């Protein structure tokens, strides 16, 4: 592994949230490596180009990361910054590694209601926007009397569409709203016990080529707690053979050396939702996640059969 020479090139999406998250990572890297030069390159992904179709209909795993990973592989960038929840857990290229996990921001989903109030307060027939099958399933379970409508676009676009009256409410990741300074629009934080978030939600991940000098460089900002949490949550999705389009969620929390894990999975039509919980040693994060994922798969199969 050779030392870093020249400017370190960082690849990211061009959305305001992606740029903000890259700035956060860049600040940490500069604090630890003040003598190095960093340059940011914006890369457009399939998910950025196609803003009309449902994410679940685009038909490609990693629609928000593949183009950036390709730039890593052809060595036009040295570091990639992603929202962890956008990174598939089951098919990372062998030449790439997740070199650092950020400290976690608020992992919860958040309701932004045009007229304020909680999810339970929305009038019957309210139009609630989401692009996530996971959120759709849990919304329909909690409020079968509302209408769940597809919505695409970045955080600001979805927020504007709601405030302008196209939707009565929208579900967004609390982390993104907070990082963009838009927390004031949140009407309700949805409890992970009842509205399970996406695996890795609220965590920024930095990807490099395996064995490259950038891997060691980036490793200096790795958050061990986030890595453990992410390992458990992503293992749930791996066991379910899920990706970012699947109606699957997982949330882990650490108390000392004990890890608590909750997972959810839904049928493809989002009509059946199952949840399971377990606890165990944090050192067994991967195995616990796989165990919970298999339990969810069995529970979902049983529910769908009967």
H helix runs in the chain, sequence order? 16-32, 46-49, 55-58, 66-73, 133-142, 155-163, 174-179, 213-219, 224-239, 285-305
Q: For residue 287, what are its two tokens?
A: 């195995």
Sheet of strand 8-12: strand arrangement: 38-42, 8-12, 79-83, 204-209, 96-101
Query: Annotated catalytic residue: which of 57, 74, 86, 106?
Result: 86
Virtual CA dihedral for 290, 295, 298, 301, nearest 10 degrees?
-100
Spatial distance between the Cα atoms of 249 and 264, rounded to a whole number of angstroms:
5
Indicate the angle between helix axes 155-163 and 16-32, nearest 10 degrees: 140
The β-bridge relationship of strands 204-209 and 188-190 is unpaired
The β-bridge relationship of strands 38-42 and 8-12 is parallel
Can you tell me whether residue 93 is helix, strand or coil?
Answer: coil
Q: For residue 140, what are its two tokens?
A: 């329909």
Sheet of strand 273-281: strand arrangement: 248-255, 258-266, 273-281
Q: What are the CA-CA distances from residue 226 to residues 63, 79, 154, 222, 231 (Å)?
A: 23, 19, 25, 8, 8
The answer to whether 222 is a known catalytic residue is no
Residues with active-site annotation? 86
């Amino acid at each position: 592994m050779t030392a870093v020479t020249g400017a370190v090139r960082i690849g990211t999406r061009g959305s305001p949230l992606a740029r903000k998250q890259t700035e956060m990572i860049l600040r940490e890297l500069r604090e630890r490596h003040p003598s190095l030069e960093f340059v940011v390159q914006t890369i457009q992904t399939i998910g950025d180009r196609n803003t009309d179709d449902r994410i679940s209909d685009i038909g490609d795993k990693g629609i928000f990361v593949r183009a950036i990973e390709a730039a890593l592989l052809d060595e036009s960038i040295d570091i990639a910054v992603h929202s962890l929840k956008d990174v598939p857990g089951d098919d990372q290229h062998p030449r790439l590694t997740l070199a650092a996990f950020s400290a976690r921001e608020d992992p919860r989903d958040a309701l932004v209601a045009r007229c304020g109030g909680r999810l339970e307060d929305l009038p019957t027939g309210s139009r609630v926007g989401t692009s996530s099958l996971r959120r759709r399933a849990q919304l329909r379970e909690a409020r079968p009397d509302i209408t769940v409508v597809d919505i695409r676009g970045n955080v600001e676009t979805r927020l504007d569409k709601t405030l302008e009256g196209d939707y009565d409410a929208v579900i967004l990741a609390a982390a993104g709203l907070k990082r963009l300074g838009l927390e004031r629009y949140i009407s309700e934080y949805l409890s992970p016990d009842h509205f399970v978030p996406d695996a890795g939600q609220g965590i920024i991940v930095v990807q490099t080529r395996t064995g490259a000098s950038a891997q060691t460089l980036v490793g200096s900002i790795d958050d061990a707690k986030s890595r453990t949490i992410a390992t458990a949550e992503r293992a749930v999705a791996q066991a379910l053979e899920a990706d970012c389009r699947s109606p699957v969620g997982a949330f882990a929390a650490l108390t000392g050396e004990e890890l608590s894990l909750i997972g959810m999975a839904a049928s493809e039509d989002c009509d059946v939702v199952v949840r399971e919980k377990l606890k165990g040693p944090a050192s067994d994060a991967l195995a616990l996640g796989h165990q919970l994922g298999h339990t969810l798969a069995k529970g979902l199969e049983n529910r769908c059969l009967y």
